[in-house]
Amino acid sequence: MKKPNSKDQASSYRKLTRRALVVGGLQLGFAGLLGLRMRYMQVEQADQFRLLAEENRINIRLIAPSRGELFDRNGVPLARNAPSYRVVVVREDAGDVDEVINHLGQLIRLDPGETEQALAEIKRSAPFLPVTLADRVSWEDVSRVAVNAPALPGISPEVGLTRVYPHGPDLAHVIGYVGPVSDYDLQKIEDPEPVLRIPRFQIGKVGLEARQEELLRGKAGAKRVEVNATGRVMRELDRREGQPGADLQLTVDIGLQSYVQARLGDESAAAVVIDCENGDLRAIVSSPSFDPNLFVRGISVADYRSLTEDKHRPLANKSVQGAYPPGSTFKMVTALAALEAGVISNNDTVWCPGYLEVSGRRFHCWKHGGHGHVDLINSLKQSCDVYYYDVAMQVGIDKISDMAKTLGIGVRHELPMSAVARGLAPNRAWKQENYNKTWLIGDTANAAIGQGYVLASPLQLAVMTARIATGRSVTPRLVKSIDGIEQPSGAGEPMGINENHLRQVRKGMFAVSNDRRGTGYRSRIAEDTMQMAGKSGTSQVRNITKAERAAGVISNNDLPWERRDHALFVGFAPADRPKYAVAVVVEHGGGGSSAAAPILRDVLLQALYDGTPPLEAYPSSDRERIREQQEKLQQERIDRENQRKTSDRA
C-alpha cells in the first residue's frame, strides 16, 4: 500500500529526531527534578529525618532489679528469690495455637480458666510476644515440655524470679509477703516509679516486705534496644544495670522462732523474745500463722475466707499489733513508780483483807480471803492486788503513766512491721482529752493492776521486762544489718531509775518463779545458773458482777472461749545477769501462771540453750511431761518439714 519517497522519509526522520529530543529532554528534566528532590530530602532535611529515624528504632526497656533477700541472724535465708518456671507460647511459631495447646494439655495440667485468658491474650498481642499458658510449673512438667518440644512448636518454658519464704508460716507476720502491683497500690503511690509498671513486678504488701520496700526493691536498670516496626527487639544497644535491692539480716533466730511457733501451737497467742543486751528481737511470734507463699502465688478465695473467718485471727500480728490489758504484769510499773516517788519502801506493808474500799466502791483482790500483811516482794510474788490499789492511791496515775512510758508501754517502738501498736499508758490529761471526763480514783485503782484503760502489746511487755532487767532503756531492733552494714544497737542508756528500786522489783520477780508460794513457781527453771525471774498476769475481758462474785467466780474452763481471761507472763533469765526477756500472751488462755508461764519457761530455756534444753533444766516433777512435749514438738517439726517438701514438689 505504500510507496515511500525519500522526501517523505527524510521529513519523518527529522520529525522523529525532533520528537525524540523533546522526549529525551523531558526525561532528563524529570531526572534532574528527582535529583533535586533527593538533594532536598537527604541534605537539607537530613537532620530532621534522622531524628525521626532514631525515634523509630530505639526503645527503652526497664530491667527489673532483683529484690533484696532476707536472712536470719545466722545467715539462714528467710526470703529468697527462687526461679519459677512458666510455659509460654509464641503465636507466630506455634502455627495452629489451639491444637498445640490441646497437645500441651495432655502433657501437663492446664487450668481451663487460665487457658481461656491466655487464648484471649494471644489474639490481642503481637504474634511474636510470648503469652503465659501456665505459671509456677513444676520442674517435672518443665522437663516434660522440653522433651516433647518437637511436637509443641512455639511452646517453651521460661524462667523468672519469684519470692519464696522457705520457712512459710514461721515468720509470716514479721516479714509479710509480696504480690504483684495492683491498681490500688499505684493509686496510693505518688509519682510511681516506672519499674512498678513492669508486668508481674512484685512489691511488698504487708510486714517488713512492705515497710522496707524502698530498700528491698533496688533501682531498676534500663536497656536501650533497637526495635523493628512491629516492636520486636532486634538487638540491645547498651544497658545500664540496675541496682539490686539491699539484703537484710534480721535479728530473728529462725530456729528459736520456729520452736516458739510450734510451742504456741493452735493457741491464739503471741510471744516475743528480746535480747536484753542489745535489744535484738530473737523471736516475734504470733499464733496461729498462715503461709505467706499462698499470697505470693495469689491466694484462693476459699483459703482467704478460711483465714479471715478463723476466730483465732491468723492474719493478725498479735505480737506487735495486739494491745491487751497487761493485768498483773503491770504491777512492776506501779511498784517502780511508787518506789521512785518515795511513797513506799521495800519494808512497808499493806494489809490485804481481800478487797479495798475506794470512794465507796469495793476493789477486790484476786484472792478472796486476802493476803494479810504484804510487803513489796510478797506483793509481786503472790500478785496481791490490794497492795497496788493502795500504793497507787498514794502515788497517783500521772507518775504511774510516766513510769509506764519510761519502760516502753504507751510509746510506739519503731519497727519495720505493719501496724505496730502504741498501747496505752493513760493519765488524767489523756482521759480529759479523749473522753472529756475527769480521771476518777477508781481508774487509778484499775490502772494499778494493769486493767481498765491500760493496754500493752506483747512486744511492749517484753521491752518493759528487758528494761527492768537491765535498768537501761533497751530498744527493740529487728534489722541487724543492711547489705552487711551493722545497724545501731538497741542496748540503750540507763533509764535513771534507782538501781536499788530495780533490784527490789527484780527480787520480787525472782520470788514469783522461785519461791514456793510464787505464782510462777510451778514453771520455774531448775538449772541454778539460769534461774528466771518473772511475773504472771491474768487480764479480765469481762466485768465480774457482785452477784457473780457472791456466787463464786466461774472458773475460766466453764466459760465460752471468747469470754475467758487473757493469760500473760513476762520473764527474764538468767536472773542474776539477764540475757533474754520474754513476754507471752495467750488470748483467752485463762490464768497467766497456768497457761502462759510454762510456755515462757520453755521459750526462755530454748533461747538460753540455743536449742533443745536438757531435761535437767526443768523441775524434776515436770521432766516426764516435758520429755513427751519435746518429742511431740520434734515430731511435729519433722512432719511439717516433710509436708513442705511435698508441697514444694507439687
Partner 1 sequence: MSYLEYNVQSTPTGPRKILYLNWPLALLLCTVACVGFLQLYSVAGGSLYPWAEPQMKRFALGLTAMMMVAMVPIWFWRNMSVVAYLLSVILLIGVELMGIEGKGAQRWIDLGVIRLQPSELMKITLIMLLAAYYDWLPARRTSHPFWVLVPVMIILFPTYLVLRQPDLGTSILLLAAGGGMMFLAGVHWAYFAAVIASGVGLVSAVFESRGTDWQLIKDYQFRRIDTFLDPASDPLGAGYHITQSKIALGSGGWTGRGFMQGTQSRLNFLPEKHTDFIFTTLAEEFGFIGGISLLALYVLIIVFCIHTALATRDRYSSLITLGVAITFFLFFSVNMSMVMGLAPVVGVPLPMVSYGGSAMLVLMVAFGLVQSAHIHRPRGRRR
Q: What is the contact surface with partner 1 in residues (CB under 8 A)?
A: 2, 4, 6, 8-9, 11-13, 15-17, 19-24, 27-28, 30-31, 34-35, 37-39, 41-43, 45-46, 48-50, 52-53, 56-57, 226-230, 234
* Closest to partner 1 by CB, 2 or 188: 2
Active-site position among 328, 418, 473, 539: 328
Shortest CB 5 distance to partner 1, Å: 10
Shortest CB 120 distance to partner 1, Å: 24
Question: What is the rounded distance in angstroms from the CA atom of residue 502 to the CA atom of residue 83?
Answer: 53
Shortest CB 238 distance to partner 1, Å: 15
Which residue in 470, 438, 446 sits closest to 278, CA to CA? 470
Task: Supply angle C-alpha 361, 367, 368, rounded to 5.
Answer: 65
**Placement of cell 533496688 in the chain:** 218
Shortest CB 46 distance to partner 1, Å: 4
- State CA 193 to chain mean position distance: 23
Shortest CB 54 distance to partner 1, Å: 8
Shortest CB 22 distance to partner 1, Å: 8
DSSP string, 129-190: SEEEEEEEE-HHHHHHHHHTGGGSTTEEEEEEEEEE-TTGGGGHHHH-EEEE--HHHHHHSS
* Closest to partner 1 by CB, 92 or 357: 92
Task: Supply angle C-alpha 646, 649, 650, rounded to 5.
Answer: 90
Question: What is the rounded distance in angstroms from the CA atom of residue 69 to the CA atom of residue 526?
Answer: 40
Question: What is the rounded distance in angstroms from the CA atom of residue 121 to the CA atom of residue 107?
Answer: 22
* Closest to partner 1 by CB, 37 or 563: 37
Question: What is the rounded distance in angstroms from the CA atom of residue 327 to the CA atom of residue 461?
Answer: 11
Question: What is the rounded distance in angstroms from the CA atom of residue 410 to the CA atom of residue 299?
Answer: 36
Which residue in 318, 272, 64, 317 sits closest to 176, CA to CA? 317
Which residue in 350, 345, 377, 343 sits closest to 365, CA to CA? 350
**CA-derived radius of gyration, the chain:** 37
Shortest CB 121 distance to partner 1, Å: 22
Shortest CB 94 distance to partner 1, Å: 21
Name the strand (E) or helix (H) holding 60.
Answer: strand 58-63
- The residue count for the chain: 650
Question: What is the rounded distance in angstroms from the CA atom of residue 440 to the CA atom of residue 426?
Answer: 12
Which residue in 336, 576, 585, 572 sits closest to 465, CA to CA? 572
Which 3 state secondary structure label does DSSP give 325?
coil
* Closest to partner 1 by CB, 2 or 437: 2
* Closest to partner 1 by CB, 26 or 147: 26
**Placement of cell 534461774 in the chain:** 531
Which residue in 347, 437, 432, 380 sits closest to 571, CA to CA? 380
Question: What is the rounded distance in angstroms from the CA atom of residue 455 to the CA atom of residue 345?
Answer: 27
Question: What is the rounded distance in angstroms from the CA atom of residue 563 to the CA atom of residue 517?
Answer: 28
Which residue in 570, 604, 608, 346 sits closest to 468, CA to CA? 570
Q: Is 82 left (phi over 0), alpha (psi -120 to 50) or beta?
A: beta
SS (H, E, C) 495-560: CCCCHHHHHHHHHHHHHHHHCCCCCCHHHCCCCHHHCCEEEEEEECCCCCCHHHHHHCCCCHHHCC
Determine whether 621 is an active site residue: no
End-to-end CA distance of the chain: 99
Contact (CB, 8 A) for 466 and 581: yes
Known catalytic residues are 328
